[in-house]
Structure 1
Amino acid sequence: MRALYPGSFDPLTNGHMDLIERALSLFGEVIVAVLRNPNKRPTFSIEQRITQIHASTRHLSGIEIINFEGLTVNCAKTHRADLILRGLRAMSDFEYELQIAHTNSSLEDSLETVFMTTSARHSFLSSSVVKEVARFGGAIEHMVPSEVAFDLNRLFNSAFLPT
């Protein structure tokens, strides 16, 4: 089975990695689909995010990393995905994710959405939290893959240089 795991991944967190690795054991193939959203200003370019994901998943097989724009269901059809994978960290995610799943189902009723909860040790992680901690010089090495931590520290390091 091929699972499509869409998201902005700005940046990729250990919570994302947890879902990717567990989904691989369940489905065999995971397409990590990096969303190019013209309405947002990401911290990292689409190319940087794809490079970070490639570096962070190089030890895994069965991974395909793509970028897409537009509807997730169209991306899933184009890449012959059998299902859409969505992660849940907390109950607060469920209402939004259920709405998205129902919308996708209304557009393509043959495509199922599968929800996976992230491991408890990663449930506090979000890309926004990681960026905020990095911005103020906090330790992020336990929150993101080492390649991502390097890029974030390099990006935000200048904020703590003497003026």
Structure 2
Amino acid sequence: MKRIALFPGSFDPFTKGHEDIVLRGLRLFDEVVIGIGRNARKERYFPLEQMMHLIEEAFRHYPAVRVMSYDDLTANVARKEGATFLLRGLRNTTDFEYENGISQVNRYVYEEVETVFLITSPHLAPISSSIIRDLHRYGQQVDEFLPYKLVNQPA
């Protein structure tokens, strides 16, 4: 049986920290599905289609990585995709507190799913999507924090 992990997130944008979790996840799982969740209450900074394309390009040499978007409960998506694992990265204890509650709810919705937490590599821990968005919004160069090059100008 294939060991499939869903790596869910808004990925707005997808950072080198996220890339690190996926690459390390490939050592544990046969396939990693990067799932970009749609949140009707939040407007994206980077368009979803653009982010999907950039992530797909970043992993073009990794056939065990797939990118998708979804508008459903993460646990339901995992079940539909045949993923029995949710892959999550933790930068700090605040992330753990937040993720712990979500993992309990995911188990309630889909009893067979296990959440696997990987601690972010120390040199990538300060990177967050919100910081990248703020830097980009005010015209700062952010390519060193991303596994791809942005071609668009700040929004």
Structure with greater proportional helix content:
1
**What does 1:28-107 correspond to in 2, within 5 Å?**
28-107=30-109
**What is the distance in 2 between the residues matched to 1:155 and 1:55?**
20
**What is the distance in 1 between the residues matched to 2:76 and 2:109?**
9
Q: Which residue of 1 aligns with 2:24?
A: 22
Relative to structure 1, the CA distance from residue 108 to residue 99 in structure 2 (aligned partners, 3 Å threshold; closer, same or farther) is same
Q: Which residue of 1 aligns with 2:153?
A: 155
Render the CA deviation track for 1:8-46: whole Å, top value 9, x for unaligned: 111110000000111012112100011111111001222
Counterpart secondary structure, 1:5:
strand
TM-score, normalised with respect to structure 1:
0.89
Identity %: 37
Task: Identify which of 4, 7, 11 aligns with 2:6.
Answer: 4
* Structure 1 position 115 matched with structure 2 position 106: no
Render the CA deviation track for 1:48-98: whole Å, top value 9, x for unaligned: 111111111112220111111120111001100021111101111010100
Measured after TM superposition, the shift of residue 155 of structure 1 is 2.5
Matched to 1:118, the amino acid is T
Count of residues in correspondence between the two structures:
153
Counterpart secondary structure, 2:51:
helix
**What is the distance in 1 between the residues matched to 2:110 and 2:61?**
33
Gaps of 5+ in 2: none
Counterpart secondary structure, 2:144:
coil
Structure 1 moving runs of 4+ over 3 Å: none
TM-score, normalised with respect to structure 2:
0.93
Matched to 1:23, the amino acid is G
Matched to 1:155, the amino acid is Q
**What is the distance in 1 between the residues matched to 2:123 and 2:139?**
22
**What is the distance in 1 between the residues matched to 2:141 and 2:69?**
29
Gaps of 5+ in 1: none
**What is the distance in 1 between the residues matched to 2:11 and 2:106?**
20
Max Rg structure: 1
Render the CA deviation track for 1:85-123: whole Å, top value 9, x for unaligned: 111011110101000001111112211111111111110
Matched to 2:29, the amino acid is F
